[in-house]
Amino acid sequence: MNGHLVARDPVTLVDTGPLTEDAWNALGHGLSRHGFQVEDVERVLLTHGHQDHFGLAARIERLGKARLLGGRLDRGHFLGKRNGRFLLDALTRAGFGAAARFTMVAMTVAVDRFAEPLSSWDELSGGEVLPGDGWSVVVRSVPGHTPGSLSFEVPEAGVLFTGDTVLRDITPNAIVDEDPGKPGEAFRSVSRYFETLQGIEAPGSCLLTGHGRRIPDFPAHRSRLASRYASRVAQIERALAGTPKTVSELCRRIFPAVRPMDLYLAYSEILGFLMYLEDLKRVERLPGPLPEHWAPRNGGGQVYPLHSASSRV
Ligand SMILES: [Zn+2]
């Protein structure tokens, strides 16, 4: 995970890295290169509530000076709370057997050790402008990767911090979980994510990502992403042809060699895309006993949401 030091007055850090001694030492070394110590950090901006991004925030706050700020809709993540019953029910509905369900629940619990839950922080919704001395941070809501994901733009520096919403070498996963705005319902992650990608305006800005290299030309990057997502949509629609299928069956077809530790991501990807296609009325869930089966629908809307003048998809 890349942590980023924005500027002084106040000394502002974007994301912290996970709760490990290695990450703590790396943070200290990184700050020392700019003449600071961890104790000097006055403000921590959190792009989203995944453990590898906010894991050290509580520890930094305990040093006394830092104020933490993160997305309102990622509150459950920051508190380290999740609705285990929701996930188990969703996995049963998706057609996974007991062993796969156990593996996936265990994986989601296992990553908790990489973050200390937050007890206090200021909630951001997007639209805020945070002042600095001669510079500012414009906060934008970018739901998709998580419901409460935020991006932070520093116009004076021509940079946009994207967290995991846009990565250069990885196609980010829009993770399905309970919708914090609609308890009991799944967050329609891929639909929200495509809206977010379409809405990112970054003229002249360099994107600093949460993992790996920066992205100097976002429109070109978005075109590449569009073709990757279009391939995924086509793959799922092909796999769905013929007999109705469960999410679990689609996972086996599309990710035949998935490692157990990655099964939750595979499930999330398939379900997220199915709900996106459901929003477009291109697929439907069939009524009937569990597990839930999905089938193509006749008609439906245009698929490619990233279609634009800059996209050839
Ligand atoms: Zn993440």
Distance 188 CA to ligand 1 centre (A): 16
- 109: phi then psi, degrees, rounded to nearest 5: -75, -35
Contact 287, 295 (CB under 8 A): no
**In this structure, which residues have their CB less than 5 angstroms from ion ligand 1?**
50, 164
Distance (Å, whole) CA 152 – CA 61: 20
Measured at the CA of 70, the angle between CA 154 and CA 55, to 5 degrees, comes to 105
Distance 282 CA to ligand 1 centre (A): 29
Distance 2 CA to ligand 1 centre (A): 12
Distance 41 CA to ligand 1 centre (A): 23
pLDDT at 203: 75
Q: How confident is the model over 28-42, as pLDDT tens digits?
A: 999 999 999 999 999
**Which residues 6+ apart lie within 8 Å of 95 measured at CB?**
246, 247, 248, 249, 290, 291, 292
In the block, tokens 């967290």 appear at 163
Task: Indicate whether 93 pLDDT > 50.
Answer: yes
Q: Is the pLDDT higher at 72 or at 169? A: 72
Distance (Å, whole) CA 189 – CA 177: 8
Q: Which helix (H) or strand (E) segment is 222 a member of? A: helix 218-240
pTM (predicted TM-score):
0.92
Nearest C-alpha neighbor of 144 from the set 171, 110, 116, 117: 171
Task: Indicate whether 134 pLDDT > 70.
Answer: yes
Across the range 71-81, mean pLDDT stands at 96
Task: Indicate whether 202 pLDDT > 90.
Answer: no
Distance (Å, whole) CA 293 – CA 192: 23
Task: Indicate whether 87 pLDDT > 80.
Answer: yes
Task: Indicate whether 295 pLDDT > 90.
Answer: yes
Of the CA atoms within 13 Å of residue 270, those in its CB half-sphere come to: 30
pLDDT at 313: 32
Distance (Å, whole) CA 153 – CA 133: 15
Distance 101 CA to ligand 1 centre (A): 22
What does the DSSP assignment read for 44-59?
EE-S-S-HHHHTTHHH
Task: Indicate whether 92 pLDDT > 60.
Answer: yes
Nearest C-alpha neighbor of 267 from the set 227, 241, 236, 221: 236
Q: Which amino acid does the sequence have at 183?
A: P
Distance 174 CA to ligand 1 centre (A): 9
As a whole number, the mean pLDDT across the chain is 90
Contact 253, 267 (CB under 8 A): no
pLDDT at 239: 95
